[in-house]
Amino acid sequence: MAKITQLTVSAESKPGVLARVCNALAGAGVNIVAVSAGDSAGRGKIRLVVSDMARARQALGAAKIRTGEEPAVMVTMDDRPGALADAASRLAAAKINIKCAYATTASGRAQVVIVVANPDKAERALA
């Protein structure tokens, strides 16, 4: 498990927004490690974990894309029924609210980004 910082981009939900963000990062040689994009009431929120935060900030700023940051933890777990339930239950028992979570799986393992207000406390709860 690692404490991380994710970038957030809030923008109008319309064609080309995600492409613009990804192209800015690609042009700066920044790899996207994890991404979640959703919308609500015509507004989109893109959450990104990137390989180089400083270069990502610079590239997105140069493209006039405003960003925010949120603390999170990236947890590696088995890809099996109940694995995420176990982690979420531990966080609930420690009274840690999960603001959002997104994941990917490959080769029997899962990588889960869990956005929380206090990543230190989350790290202890999941240890």
Q: For residue 105, name the pLDDT band (cuts at 50, 70, 90).
A: confident
Backbone angles phi, psi at 113, to 5 degrees: -95, 125
Q: What is the pLDDT of residue 125?
A: 95
Residues 43 and 100 placed together within one structural domain of the fold = no
Q: What is the pLDDT of residue 71?
A: 94
Residues 82 and 65 placed together within one structural domain of the fold = no
Residues 94 and 118 placed together within one structural domain of the fold = yes
Q: What is the pLDDT of residue 80?
A: 94
Residues 49 and 16 placed together within one structural domain of the fold = yes
Residues 97 and 58 placed together within one structural domain of the fold = no
What's the number of domains the chain is made of?
2
Place of tokens 């920044």: 30
| 102 Cβ contact partners less than 8 Å away, ≥ 6 residues apart | 34, 35, 36, 47, 112, 113
Q: What is the pLDDT of residue 104?
A: 86
pLDDT tens profile 54-86: 999 999 999 999 999 999 999 999 999 999 999
End residue of a domain, out of 43, 70, 97: 70
Residues 113 and 86 placed together within one structural domain of the fold = yes
Q: What is the pLDDT of residue 42?
A: 86
Residues 8 and 66 placed together within one structural domain of the fold = yes
Q: Domain range spanning residue 58?
A: 2-70
Residues 53 and 75 placed together within one structural domain of the fold = no
Residues 61 and 95 placed together within one structural domain of the fold = no
pTM given for the model? 0.86
Q: What is the pLDDT of residue 109?
A: 87
CATH number (domain holding residue 42): 3.30.2130.10
Give Cα separations from 37 to 8, 22, 34, 124 (angstroms).
10, 12, 10, 28
Residues 76 and 118 placed together within one structural domain of the fold = yes
